[in-house]
Every structure is written in structure tokens, then in C-alpha cells.
Amino acid sequence: MEIKFEDIWGQSSALSVLSQNVLRDRVASAYLFSGPRGTGKTKSAMVFAQALLCQSGAVRPCGTCRPCKMFGADNHPDFVDISPDGAMIKIEQMRGLMDSLSLKSYMGGRKVCVMHDAEAMNRTTANAFLKTLEEPPGDTALILVSSNHAGLLPTIISRCRVVRFVPMEPMELAPMLEERLGLGRDEALRAAMLAEGCPGNALGGGVESVRAVDDQAIGLMSRIMVMDTEEVVNFALEWKNRRADLPVLLERISEILRMGQGRILGLSSGTMPGAMETHGEIPGERIMECYDLLLEARPALRFNPNVQLFLEALIFNMQSVLEKGYPIGTPTY
């Protein structure tokens, strides 16, 4: 697939460093592309590698010269792509890499290596690699890609030009998802939040997760008045390992409460999901109090390591507020 620097979202500062490096021929012998998963590091590493191998005089990568064609066909003899074999990058792989870097360039230009998940080098492999970093053979560019910078030896990091990839603001990512995935505005914003601003996460199944979380929020709120202890505990248990999705769940619940309140107070109509239908008889001020309870609970989530207990306490309190107008005792979150 043909990728260009322009196709990578939200990384203008990283990409401008890289294209300037190519343009001015100030290419370092080693780079470390560092940042969370889903920010575009791998794509960028591949475009950068192609740009370094491209023999066009103008914009690189041009996509049309012979080296670009070979790169696109996954068939460039001076390009080495290395990923963990199983959990680790093994010493045999490292020896293979060092051998191929020691050979003369086939195309008369640079040799380029992209190493994916570079933190998967163990100490032996990393020490072998360090020698290559210290004395890179000929005209070589090594591009390390890592989502876990801290897992790399400091001696390796210090020999690389570090290029940082950062998550986007969800507000900035949302319109791009709206266009690319044909989502509605709210859905796109939720997908951007759930992906924590990392386009790769949102494009790789994030939208399905948002829809699944939506369904769960609606399911919870349509049953909240009739849920017994066991059902609450089971719901919370299901969320035990889903901390990352929790902000979206809470956001969705508060939306349902806002809509429910508006409807009961006669402020809005027609937009309410089935979720609050059973709440017709609940006084508006209780729904408002429930909404406040949720707002107050949210910051506590950051300091509470136990998602399950947090959710249990929250749901029991919401039930109590909706039913009686006050929470059960002191919230434990």
C-alpha cells in the first residue's frame, strides 16, 4: 500500500523533523520513534525508510522511481524489516541483521533497517545491537520503533535521534474519524475519546467498542431500578479489566441521565433512548442528583485502582438516589 507523510494524522512536528532531515540530507544513523501505540510510528517509519531509499531529486518518497517501486512491492534489497519472533527479538535475528548491514548496498544508496517493538530485545541482543549503533557500517539508517521507551537500554536511547509521537486531542481527532468512517459527530467524539486520541486505536476496531459500550450503558440504565445485588455485582465484575473504556461508559450514562431529566422536566422530547423509559415516575430532581453523584464520582476513578469496586459502589448509590433521593451511606470510592 502506498503511504505518504500526509496520510499520517496529527504528528506534524515529528513528520516535519523527518522530512527536513531528508530534504537537507541531515540523516542520523539511528532514530528512535517513541510514543503510545496507535499514534502512527510504524507507518511513519515505513514512509521515512522509503524516503531514505528513494532516488528522486524532488519530493521523497516519490512513489515512482525504481527503488520506490521495489519498496512498495516489499522487495527492496537494501531494506531490512525486523520484528520480534514470538515475544523477543532473538540473537540469530540480530546476527542476520548485522550480516546484511555489513554487505555492500545493492542499489548504490543507503541501507535502511526498521526494527519494530525494539524494546523486545533482551540484554544479549541489545548488547550485540549496541555495537552496530556505535559503529554503523557505511551509509546506514536504523529506525527503532517502540511503544515502551522505558524498556530500552539507556545506552541505546542515547545513541538515537529520538522522535516523539503524541496522542491527538480527541476534539481534533473526531472530525477526521467522522469523515473517514462516516460517523455522526457524537459517535466520532466518543470513538476519539475511547481511542485516547490515538488514530490507530480508533481505526482498528475502536468504533465497534464504542457501540458495545453504548449498548452496555443503555442496558444498565434501563434495568437500574430493578437490578438486584447479584446483577450489579456481575455487571461490575465484567468491567474489572476495562478501565480504558470506563470514561466512555460514564460519559454515556451521564448523557442518558441528562436526557432523562430534560424529558421529565419537559425540556426535551423525542431524543431519549429506551434506557430511561422505565424512569417515567422518578422525580426530575432525583435524576439531577444522580447526575451530580456521577460527576462527583468520576475524579475518584483516577485514584481508585479497583474498577470493579468503584462501579459497584457507584451503581448502588445511583439506585439509592433514584429510589429514595439520597445515597447509601458514605460512598466507598
Interacting residues with Zn ion (CB under 5 A): 54, 56, 61-62, 65, 68
Q: How far is the CB of 71 from Zn ion (least distance, A)?
A: 8
Measured torsion, CA atoms of residues 319, 215, 208, 305, in degrees rounded to the nearest 10: 10
Q: Kindly report the CA angle at 190 between 188 and 192, in degrees rounded to 5? A: 70
> Of 17 and 65, which has the nearer Cβ to Zn ion?
65
| Residue (30 or 54) nearer to Zn ion, CB | 54
Least distance to Zn ion from the beta carbon of 110, Å? 13
Instruction: Write the CA distances from 72 to 30, 36, 62, 224, integer angstroms.
Output: 23, 26, 11, 54
Q: Which is nearer to Zn ion, 47 or 120 (CB)?
A: 47
**Amino acid residing at 253:** I
Considering the complex, state which of residue 19 and residue 56 has its C-beta at the smaller distance from Zn ion: 56
* Least spacing, CB of residue 13 vs Zn ion, in Å: 24
Is 114 strand, coil or helix? strand
**141 vs 259, which CB is nearer to Zn ion?**
141
Whole-number minimum distance, CB 69 to Zn ion, in Å? 8
Instruction: Read off the amino acid at residue 86.
Output: G
Least distance in angstroms from the C-beta of 59 to Zn ion = 9
Q: Which phi and psi angles does 296 have, rounded to 5°? A: -70, -35
Q: Which is nearer to Zn ion, 56 or 83 (CB)?
A: 56
Amino acid at 323: E
Residue 12 CB, nearest distance to Zn ion (Å)? 23
CA distance 169 to 10: 9
**Partners of 80 in the β-ladder:** 113
Cell digits of residue 156: 541505546
